[in-house]
Chain A
Amino acid sequence: MANTTAAATPPKGITRRFHGCSKIGEYEMIQKLGEGTFGEVHKARDRRSGKMYALKKILMHNEKDGFPITALREIKLLKIISHDNVLKLEEMAVERPKAEGRKRAILYMVTPYMSHDLSGLLDNPDVQFTVAQIKCYMLQLFKGLRYLHDNHILHRDMKAANLLISNRGRLQIADFGLARHYDEPVPQRGRGNGEARRDYTSLVVTRWYRPPELLLSLRRYTPAIDLWGAGCVFGEMFKRKPILTGHSDINQAQIIFELVGSPNNESMPGWDSLPGAQSVKDWPRQTGSITNKFNMLGRTGLDLFQKLLMLDWKKRINAIDAIEHPYFKEDPKPMREEDIPRFNDSHELDRRNARKDHLPAAPAGGTVGGGPNGEWTGPGGPPNTGGPWMNGDRQRYGARDQGPPGVPAGGRGGFDRRPPGYENGGPPQGRHQPDWGNGGRERGPGYGGGRHGNGPPPGDRRHILPHQARHGPGGGDRDTYIPSYEGGARPREDRRSRGPDERPGDGRRGSRDSGNSRDGFINDRPDHNRGYGGRDRAGDSRNFGRERRDGRTRSRSPDRRDRNRDRDRDIYRR
């Protein structure tokens, strides 16, 4: 397994321009961080560099369509983006099954290892956030969002658990399992988030972070949906818990309107023509309690908060303007990343495990709500707040390296910080990728599935989500993160050619890295030639995903081959 030859013989100058796939043996698995319906996450050390990575397994549940399109899209997307505040996909790693009987290779997505996720950090009683620190995180979040939106990408699953934080104060947006190409003009300074001209699926975003326009089934939504989630995260950082915890979609809308006031033609123009608006009209009028409940944000903080939680998705502040909001210019000034203290590793996964005893058991049930509007029915237990971490059961979670809480980061020294100006992340080059991501089209011209049509959909499958985890092998002790739709019904999958039953069951391969790192954030991002030229290509690495071929190997029929070929090849391959 250990790639000793590679270590001994340095790469011989073959630059793999298409590099991006290595053998699992190049990673040393350190601990399993979690296991769930959708996959496993391992913390692993790269044998070549010694750096820590998180390896997320891609499960191939349903091979009816070959390599899961959802994974493919996520990989393709992650491969073309690069920003300090977006989790980077380092490469893919292939594990070749050892047993004869198993034919299929297992694939892992390799991402840098991050010590915390925001959700876990907020639940860690040892961690106190200062306002300056919150500003630092929010700025980073907005910068990441500005980059994504400017590159025509909607994240569509903004939430605290998807925001990973390194022990160097770096925040990164993770989990692009729901992301898609945004086919519209990107947000411009001072002009909100623009308008969409085509339909997208409204079955996105974890419920607690889902904006009102999605709850009312707006299909032509904009990057504003991600900004709503950012607003929820902003409030959550002060409240130290999710601020809008609806137990069903309908309840989610109710508590949103309780907080920010009922929609009317001024606060949310066009709301009453949205598909889901009917029931809202019967609700008592609310004036909103946001100023009372969030007065700890201060005047300007509250102003930003309200602009993020603006019902009118056309006027909701965009990421560009949020970065320039006076809140980030007044005292206390945003902390510099390197000044943020280090904390115990905290992941959303642990947090849920830790409080298992205090919370009522995950809601029983699992029935699929099937009302006429789809969105408005179902028993819907609390949505899983789950994050990019798969959950695992505790026993499996190996011994943790518990550093002393709150040790200041200064003790480590030697940050390999990027030169000043990195925060801007460089202007995204690609404003529009004509060929890219269009696969996510929800609704082709001839769409006849009816799933997202106006007719009764086959139930809003997302209601069952919290229960799905119970099918996991671990039984009730396990609490798997499943996003707001059942695994099989990934919302972007609604292609005409597939019925709901045929959808790949991979669902969300939701997890990222986990565990702890004394390595902290891996800051260097070699943008090219991350190559492991030392790979020995001959033989097994090429057998990836393939059945053992009937004894046919490269070395057959020596008659027509140069005798030295193998040796030559070795030189080449190295």
Chain B
Amino acid sequence: MQASPLANFQATVEQLETSGSQLDGIPVDLEESIRFAGARLTQAAGVLLRLPQEVIAQAIILFTRFWIGPEGGSLAEFGAAHISAGSLYLAAKLSAFPKSARSIVNVYAFLDTIPSTYADLEQLWRENNPEEYYVSPGTYERRRSTLFNMEKQILKVLGFQLQVTLPYTLAITYLQALSAFDDPGATDLAKRTFAHLNSALLSPQLLLLTHQPPTLATAAIYLAAKETNVKLPGVDWWTIFDTDREELGFLVVGLLSVETFATAEKAKWADRKVPLTVEEVNAEMDRRQSENAGE
């Protein structure tokens, strides 16, 4: 239980084998879609709340941890949007940038008015209509109490283990160690590295729950250097960051696959909403069932 800036609590094999949702009969593909959409929702809400990416990333990791394993939360019981809000509230509360329950409720109310999960943002801002996402005092009371309940659920499922170590600062340190900042393309390299680390948060392979921060940082740097044509040492430099070639290769593939996955998700859901509440999940299940019956 030692704190280390290099290690995170990781998902166990058992936790990756199944989940509360799957035990409740939710198909894996739907679960993945919802987890992905929920993580995106958390990211969006965090941006709207002007939270630093550090806090948002922690919230996404808490969110992701919540759903894994047979003892994790089930989508048949908890709405992903609620857990997303709870995670963000909790992560912000523990950070230097706490957000009020009211702010959280407002932002999630706004995000809920977006007609489809993969909506075009430009269009969204043009059609901004404050009346749609106004939260009345009575509604707020209810939602706040839900938020607090979700907060407790998260604490319970996570066993109060809120420690989250992120790879971002580590990546900078590694870039410095590699003297990468001497290169004219260093800024792009660093940006690209962070972009990959942000993608990792959304990975359907739960990369942040299965790999330690040093390895993630190393893989992101490796990939970013290839993409930005920054020359890194010709030797197996990743080994000094506790990463072997095999793991590096796995992570590079994993990081690259996020984009493919995201594109597929966008195509799959098109102009529909990914179900982020229990009711929506139920409706989606019914829809799938009748579809199957119709065939």
Residues of A in contact with B (beta carbons under 8 Å apart) = 13-21, 63, 65-67, 69, 72-73, 75-76, 79-82, 91-92, 94, 105, 151, 426, 428-436, 438-439, 441, 444, 495, 497, 527-528, 535, 537, 542, 544-547, 552, 554, 557, 559-562, 565, 568-569, 572-573
Question: Given the complex of chains A and B, what is the CA–CA distance between A433 and B159 in angstroms?
Answer: 20
CB-defined A-B contacts under 8 Å, sample of 18: A14-B69, A16-B71, A17-B15, A18-B65, A18-B69, A66-B89, A73-B94, A428-B3, A429-B2, A435-B54, A435-B95, A439-B93, A495-B98, A537-B70, A545-B149, A545-B153, A562-B25, A565-B25
Q: How far is the CA of A432 from the CA of B6 in the complex (A)?
A: 10
The interface centre, meaning the residue of A91, A561, A562, A568 with most chain B CB atoms within 10 A of its CB, is A561
Would you call B12 an interface residue if the criterion is a C-beta within 8 Å of the partner chain's C-beta atoms?
yes
The distance from the CB of B69 to the nearest CB of chain A, in whole angstroms, is 8
- Give B9's nearest chain A residue, CB to CB: A17
With a cutoff of 8 Å between Cβ atoms, the chain B residues found around residue A82 in the complex are 1-2
In contact, B3 and A436 (Cβ under 8 angstroms): yes
Do A92 and B166 form a contact, CB below 8 Å, given A80-B1, A80-B2?
no
Shortest beta-carbon contacts, A-B, top 10: A20-B159, A545-B152, A80-B3, A430-B3, A572-B70, A66-B148, A561-B25, A441-B96, A429-B4, A18-B159
B282 proximity list for chain A (CB < 8 A): 557
Judged by a CB distance under 8 angstroms, whether B200 is at the interface is no
A92 proximity list for chain B (CB < 8 A): 155, 159-160
Give every chain B residue within 8 A of A542 (Cβ-Cβ).
77, 153, 156
Check if B49 is an interface residue, CB within 8 A of chain A.
no
A63 vs B162: C-alpha distance in the bound complex, in angstroms?
A: 20
For B151, what are the chain A residues with a Cβ–Cβ distance below 8 Å? 66-67
- A561: chain B residues at CB < 8 Å are 24-25
Asked whether any CB of chain A lies closer than 8 Å to the CB of B135, the reply is no
- Residue B48 at the A interface, CB < 8 A? no
Q: Which residues of B contact A94 (CB under 8 A)?
A: 156
User: What are the residues of chain A within 8 A of B127 when measuring CB–CB?
Assistant: none
A568 to B89, CA, bound (A): 34
Chain A residues near B156 (CB-CB < 8 A): 21, 94, 542, 544-545
Q: Contact residue range for chain B?
A: 35 or more
Say whether A65 contacts B93, CB under 8 Å: yes
For A435, what are the chain B residues with a Cβ–Cβ distance below 8 Å? 54, 58, 95, 164-166
B23 within 8 A of A: yes
Q: Who on chain B is nearest to A433 by CB?
A: B3
Chain B residues within CB distance 8 Å of chain A: 1-5, 9-12, 14-15, 18, 23-25, 54, 58, 65, 69-71, 74, 76-77, 89-90, 93-96, 98, 100-101, 145, 147-149, 151-153, 155-166, 169, 278, 282, 285, 289
Q: Please, which residues of chain B bring their CB within 8 A of the CB of A430?
A: 2-5
Task: Give the Cβ gap from B70 to chain A, nearest Cβ, in Å.
Answer: 4
A557 to B289, CA, bound (A): 13
Task: Write the chain A residue with the least CB distance to B145.
Answer: A547
With CB as the reference atom, state the residue of chain B lying closest to A13: B14
Pairwise interchain contact B160-A546, C-beta atoms closer than 8 A: no
Interface centre among B24, B58, B65 (most CB of A within 10 A): B24
Further contacts, 18 of them, CB under 8 A, given A79-B160, A435-B95: A14-B69, A65-B101, A67-B148, A72-B94, A75-B162, A76-B163, A92-B160, A430-B3, A435-B58, A436-B3, A439-B94, A441-B96, A497-B98, A542-B77, A544-B152, A557-B282, A569-B70, A573-B71
**Which one of B2, B158, B163, B169 has the highest number of Cβ atoms from chain A below 10 Å of its Cβ?**
B2
CB distance from A74 to the nearest CB of B (A): 10
Q: How far is the CA of A557 from the CA of B26 in the complex (A)?
A: 12
Give the docked Cα–Cα distance between A433 and B4 (Å): 7
Say yes or no: B12 contacts A17, CB within 8 Å.
yes
Q: Give Cα distance in the complex from A568 to B24, angstroms.
A: 11
Q: How far apart are the CA atoms of A561 and B76 in the complex, in Å?
A: 11
The interface residues of chain B lying within 8 Å CB-to-CB of A432 are 5
Closest Cβ of chain A to B97, distance in Å, is 8
| B2 engages A439 (CB within 8 Å) | no
Q: Are A81 and B3 in contact (CB under 8 A)?
A: yes
Contacts of A444 in B (CB 8 A): 96
A403 to B254, CA, bound (A): 63
Across the interface, do B14 and A18 meet the contact criterion of CB distance under 8 Å?
Answer: no
B164 to chain A minimum Cβ distance, whole angstroms, is 6
Residue pair A572, B95 in contact (C-beta under 8 Å): no
Output the nearest chain B residue to A434 by Cβ-Cβ distance: B169
